[in-house]
Amino acid sequence: MVFPKSPVLGRSLFIEKKVTMKAIQIHNYGGPEVLKYEDAPRPKPQAGEVVVRVHAAGVNPIDWKVREGHMKDFWPHKFPLILGWDLSGVVEEVGPRVSQFKIGDEVYSIPDPTRNGAYADYIVVRESECSLKPNSLHHIRAAAVPLAALTAWQSLFDTAQLQPGQRVLIHAGSGGVGHLAVQLAKWKGAYVFATASTKNQDLLRELGVDEPIDYTQQRFENVARNIDIVLDTIGGETQERSWSVLKKGGNLVSLVQPPSEEKAKELGVRTAFVAGHPSGAQLAEIAKIVDSGKLAPVIDRILPFSEVRRAHELSQSGHTRGKIVLRVKNGDGTLERKQS
């Protein structure tokens, strides 16, 4: 393209829009060392898409599961891949036929997990995957909400059809999904049991759990009985032992491992495996609940972009209390210098 020259300076009058950005990418599957802070092409919006300047990105177990290659048979990712499917930021550019958002809107989103994620200065998301963020939360706290809250919402409400007064057992009530699931279940009027270790019993009470259970001291099945819905965020032995707490017609909903259909039939209960999906409409509902004061994220820690490897190690430990969030805007990008 030819730009007109300035008569004074002889330089182009048009400054070409910056086309690169900083991002944390992986070029192959592996440990935290494959996370690389580098230049990446800045994405352009297609029809129905917006470009968001990412201010903060939530960290979820799916990030390190993708990094290690556990999802490669399900999602056709290509390298280099930008991880991170939880974000809050500001709309920077809108593509054709975008009707709900304009430049400058403050939004939060779970982007499509088969595409590039939010560990980057900019991300392109479909407008159907976005909502205005809760007014009462700044970007760091807003970025902690979408993936975990939507997963809890879709599990408890869309799948299990939770009704007021029902008895719910939430495993890992102190985790990313669990701490929001507890609050959403209470908001709906449920009676909530939740498990966590000794150090998180106070947190469970603060979140509104009716009967906190210390899984290191008690067998949950000795406390939680006659349960309508179990939300299984752990799998394995925890899932296996969860059948016994369900009442007839109850529902064992897992996020980690499809429960046995045969076993469910034999016991006269229902079961489901939930794979959360993006939904701007549900995020808008969730934003209203946050702004009403009935739902609040707990932040385990906020880390700069440069500490993404540490963020993954912490998430992978399986003992995050609430959420880990990466500060992306002004988060500085000295990953290589600090960590290699």
Ligand X SMILES: NC(=O)c1ccc[n+]([C@@H]2O[C@H](COP(=O)([O-])OP(=O)(O)OC[C@H]3O[C@@H](n4cnc5c(N)ncnc54)[C@H](OP(=O)(O)O)[C@@H]3O)[C@@H](O)[C@H]2O)c1
List of residues contacting ligand X (CB under 6 A): 60-62, 148, 151, 171-172, 174-178, 195-197, 199-200, 215, 233-234, 238, 255-256, 274-276, 315, 318-321
Nearer to ligand X, 30 or 318 (CB): 318
> Which long-range contacts (C-beta less than 8 Å, at least 24 apart) are formed by 40-47?
40/80, 40/82, 40/120, 42/18, 42/121, 42/122, 43/116, 43/122, 43/123, 43/124, 44/93, 44/95, 44/124, 45/93, 45/94, 45/95, 45/98, 45/124, 46/95, 46/96, 46/124, 47/95, 47/96, 47/97
Nearer to ligand X, 40 or 302 (CB): 302
Nearer to ligand X, 189 or 318 (CB): 318
Nearer to ligand X, 93 or 242 (CB): 242
Classify residue 284 as exposed, middle or buried by CB count within 10 Å of its CB (0-12, 13-18, 19+). middle
Nearest to 320 by CA among 136, 110, 58: 58
The CA distance from 40 to 19, in Å, is 9
Least Å distance, CB 301 to ligand X, is: 12
Q: What's the N-to-C CA distance of the chain in angstroms?
A: 41
Nearer to ligand X, 132 or 256 (CB): 256
Classify residue 162 as exposed, middle or buried by CB count within 10 Å of its CB (0-12, 13-18, 19+). buried
Nearer to ligand X, 29 or 53 (CB): 29
Nearer to ligand X, 117 or 276 (CB): 276
Least Å distance, CB 332 to ligand X, is: 26
Least Å distance, CB 123 to ligand X, is: 19
* Position with the least CB separation from ligand X: 175
Least Å distance, CB 288 to ligand X, is: 22
* 39 φ/ψ angles, rounded to the nearest 5 degrees: -75, 145
The CA distance from 183 to 152, in Å, is 10
Least Å distance, CB 261 to ligand X, is: 17
Least Å distance, CB 116 to ligand X, is: 19
Q: Is 220 helix (H, G, I), strand (E, B) or coil?
A: helix
Least Å distance, CB 333 to ligand X, is: 25
